[in-house]
């Protein structure tokens, strides 16, 4: 939502037509949240459209009420929505789209995994791990392959929302202070 504007220099007319860059970023945060919500719902619908017939063909029935499957689906949609806001903030900070995506993936898949793995050795690091974005999203959905101690789902949601607000705020500050490319 913002890195392509930096790449194609459409930030110039955007920021010149609305000299209060902070307003532009706030509007983009709202749109990012809405797009994230729509994307989360669409991805869930597609996943369920594929999974339900496939599982039924294998003789597996889903227990929607017993496993809190509906809550997990809603939590996953909320996580996607919040990550859209995080992505916008990261895009404001790292203007190159490829660099922003690679940095985000390296952090989530490598750095946070290392911290989580070392958290089993050192308790203090495990306590810090719970408050990182990936662990917070795992807490929201209650899906954790590491079987580590996670926050409660509501607390994980608040922590992840805090990360979203933090990155959006950092992006807002950065957009207001940098020159227009």
Query: Which residues, 6 or more positions from 95, have their beta carbon under 8 angstroms from its beta carbon?
Result: 2, 3, 6, 7, 181
d(CA 78, CA 84): 10
Supply the pTM of this predicted model: 0.82
Task: State the sign of the Cα–Cα–Cα–Cα dihedral 112, 114, 115, 117.
Answer: positive
Number of H helices, E strands in the chain: 9, 0
> What pLDDT does 180 receive?
66
**Matching residue, tokens 């749109």:** 31
For each of the chain's 181 residues, which pLDDT tens digit applies? 777 777 777 777 777 777 777 788 888 889 999 999 999 999 999 999 999 999 999 998 887 777 778 888 999 999 999 999 999 888 888 888 899 999 999 998 999 888 888 877 777 887 888 899 988 998 888 877 666 678 888 899 999 999 988 988 888 888 777 766 6
CA geometry: angle 61, 69, 58, nearest 5 deg:
20
Write the burial class of residue 29 (CB in 10 Å: 0-12 exposed, 13-18 middle, 19+ buried).
buried
Query: Which residues, 6 or more positions from 87, have their beta carbon under 8 angstroms from its beta carbon?
Result: 1, 32, 100, 104
Q: Which of 78, 102, 104, 116 is nearest to 167 (CA)?
A: 104
Q: Which of 80, 91, 61, 79 is nearest to 140 (CA)?
A: 79
> What pLDDT does 181 receive?
60
Query: Which residues, 6 or more positions from 177, have their beta carbon under 8 angstroms from its beta carbon?
Result: none
């Amino acid at each position: 939502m913002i890195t392509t504007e930096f790449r194609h220099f459409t930030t110039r007319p955007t920021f010149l037509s609305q000299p209060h860059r902070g307003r532009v970023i706030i509007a983009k945060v709202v749109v990012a949240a809405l797009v994230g919500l729509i994307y989360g719902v669409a991805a869930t619908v597609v996943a369920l459209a594929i999974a339900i017939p496939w599982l039924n063909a294998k003789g597996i029935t889903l227990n929607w009420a017993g496993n809190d499957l509906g809550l997990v689906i809603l939590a996953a949609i909320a996580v996607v929505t919040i990550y859209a806001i995080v992505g916008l903030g990261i895009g404001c900070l790292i203007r190159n789209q490829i660099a922003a995506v690679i940095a985000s993936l390296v952090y989530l898949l490598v750095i946070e995994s290392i911290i989580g793995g070392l958290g089993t050795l050192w308790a203090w690091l495990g306590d810090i791990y719970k408050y990182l974005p990936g662990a917070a999203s795992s807490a929201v959905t209650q899906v954790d392959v590491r079987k580590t101690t996670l926050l409660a789902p509501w607390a994980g949601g608040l922590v992840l929302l805090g990360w979203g607000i933090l990155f959006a705020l950092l992006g807002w500050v950065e957009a207001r202070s940098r020159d227009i490319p």
